[in-house]
Structure 1
Amino acid sequence: MTQATAEPYEEDPNWNGEVEDAPANVEPQNGDDVVSIPKRRGRAPLQLPAAAKRYEKAKAAVAKLTATDVTTEREKVAARIERDRERLAELDSHDDQVNAAQEELTQAEQEFNAALAAVQGK
């Protein structure tokens, strides 16, 4: 039985698209049964399953990109930005609201204590 070994494909930046054919009849060297076939330059052939997978991925990517309504997405993002700006404005006045609520609490507590004292004093 004759054993053949082949080098893996290599990417060659100067490759012009041609594939070098290996010699048809290679004689064994040194009397052994191992035949060394010179490596072929170029790209590995594209197999059908790989090509189909690549095609389906590209088709799905194009469908996804064409389905996106850019105008609607921009409006959604702009509305979200506006809501965030309103929330930031509320947070900017948060300290003032806390102080006003604290003052209201103090006044309500004083009124409650006065009413309680009036009820207990009777």
Structure 2
Amino acid sequence: AVLFARFIAILLIILVGLLKSRGISIWATYISFIIIGFTWPFFYIPVTIQATNLTSPENRGKILGIFNASINLAVITASFVSGAVALKFGYLTSFLVGAILLVVSERVFTKAISVETAKVD
């Protein structure tokens, strides 16, 4: 059910992004932020729980600190970079660059996790 909710949320965000890139009103921005606000817990909380479950109690604080710092640093950096890309190349390009980076990073982290899991086994 959570995976389906994530899929629907991503589709809605893509739809709003495409509408916004076609010059649809400022309401597209408002709608996208509302969607993000309601769906963020579905993305963030399960990952935090997973990070907590995968760490030993003595390293949990350090790992969660690194985890939260990396997420927040990525959000801040992406905000500035996407703004610059949107101003120079347009909003659709900014969205496409983000989507490509998302797919590439998912592949990289999936391989890294599978390699780390193989070392543990």
Larger strand proportion, structure 1 or 2?
Answer: 1
TM bin (shorter chain): under 0.3
TM-score, normalized by length of structure 2? Answer: 0.25
In terms of Rg, which structure is larger?
1
